[in-house]
Amino acid sequence: MYYANKKTVEDLDVAGKRVLVRCDFNVPIVEGQITDDLRIRESLKTIKYLIQKNAKIIMCSHFGRPTKVAPEFSLALVVKRVEKIIGCPVKLAKDSIGADAKALVENIKEGELVLLENLRFQKEETENSPEFAKKLASLADFFVNDAFGAAHRAHASTVGVCKFLPSAIGYLMQKELDTISQAINSPKRPLVSILGGAKVSDKIGVIHSLLNKVNTVILGGGMAYTFAKANGFEIGTSICEEDKLDLAHDIMKQAQEKNVKLLLPTDYVVATGFRNDAEFKTVPVSQIPPDYMGMDIGPQTANTFSKAIRESAGGTVIWNGPLGVCEFPNFAKGTKQLAQTISETDMISIIGGGDAAAAVTQMNLSEKITHISTGGGSCLHLLEGMELPAVAAISIK
């Protein structure tokens, strides 16, 4: 097990004690509305457990990437949804380690909940400042980390705080680690990975690592054009990383040597600009016009990819990154077709957070997916075989 020697929340004697819980309430917001509350819903199990054990619960989270204190980054935008999902009132502190947080924590009773204001209002959070971590820790008797989405970052509230308090991982963190590490390290085969998203450079380490583990790799999204160019095709104005052409070659060679089936798009939907209303058409990979950019996989490719998924029934699929610019409806068809096929195929399916997860949720297919991860970056870390600093920092049993 990934965290075999680490304490989990049930190893702490929390009754009557102050417990600082690092949650990941960094939910997507459009025009003031939460568009996906999966991260809040998934944190419920740990919170419920702590309430039931009569702990005094101090939740904390980051929210967006603020450069200064600003209302659009306040957890005030999130706290009502947290209350609704947990079904209890939550007091929001005006700061994270300041006078208001201290006052609320001072008076907190058993079973009550306080939420500290956005940790990233202090730059010390991402700097992993020991002073900040110490002040945060001084609010509580125990620390529970349930923020899988932030576990790949060594910040004050994920790693730093563990120096100052007995710590444990929460139920959400356990579920993520169990499901993802099982799928990658002892999967039901065949194991297929789908990789998309914008850039090859984001996922180089992951591709290399996956080549030693999977039976099939399906590549789409923006990164596929670097591979198309490496194969000698003209790719118009498509996104491309010129300095990764050799790497793309090397990946294709390695796949062959390791007997991994590597599927690349054979046709594309190309457009005159990076906009939903840009003029578009479908062309084979050999005929991308000079003034067009690739925005989605074409229908032939979507069918080939779907067939590969269906042929892997009974196995496992791990998907990270959309196959096209799926935030624009005109270029979401490939991503949607694959999501549909996966939901109809009997297999263990894991979606590694972010944009691909949003597409699946929008299509109301979440129920048919085995696991939608709350952390894209952390999921990639695990796929790459890397340690998560936030888990490494937790107390030993």
Q: Give residues in contact with Mg ion (CB under 5 A).
A: 354-355
Is residue 314 among the annotated active site residues? no
* Residue 334 binding ligand ADP, by CB under 6 A: no
Provide, rounded to whole angstroms, the least separation between the CB of residue 367 and Mg ion.
23
Give 85-90's long-range contacts (Cβ < 8 A, gap of 24+): 85/37, 85/40, 85/41, 85/44, 86/44, 86/47, 86/48, 86/51, 86/113, 88/51, 88/113, 89/113, 90/59, 90/114, 90/115
Is residue 377 among the annotated active site residues? yes
Among 190, 298, 315, 324, binds ligand ADP (CB under 6 A): 324
- Of residues 216-235, which lie at the interface with ligand ADP (CB under 6 A)? 221-222
List the catalytic residue out of 6, 18, 39, 229.
39
- Kindly provide the b/e burial profile for residues 260-282, where b requires at least 16 CB atoms within 10 angstroms of the residue's own CB: bebbbbebbbbbbeeeeebebee
- Of residues 163-222, which lie at the interface with ligand ADP (CB under 6 A)? 196-198, 202, 221-222
β-bridge mates for residue 296, sequence order: 269
Rg of the Cα atoms in the chain: 22
Is residue 170 among the annotated active site residues? no
Taking the least distance from each CB to ligand ADP, the nearer of 138 and 201 is 201
* Residue 149 binding ligand ADP, by CB under 6 A: no
Place of tokens 């997507």: 28
Residue 66 backbone zone (phi > 0: left; psi -120 to 50: alpha; other: beta): beta
Q: Which residue is nearest to Mg ion (CB)?
A: 354
Taking the least distance from each CB to ligand ADP, the nearer of 196 and 236 is 196
Taking the least distance from each CB to ligand ADP, the nearer of 104 and 356 is 356
264, 226 Cβ separation under 8 angstroms: no
Tokens of 147: 């923020």
Place of tokens 């959309």: 322
Q: Which residue is nearest to ligand ADP (CB)?
A: 354
* Residue 322 binding ligand ADP, by CB under 6 A: yes
Catalytic residues: 39, 199, 354, 377
Query: Site residues (CB under 6 A) for ligand ADP?
Result: 196-198, 202, 221-222, 239, 294-295, 320-322, 324-325, 327, 353-356, 376
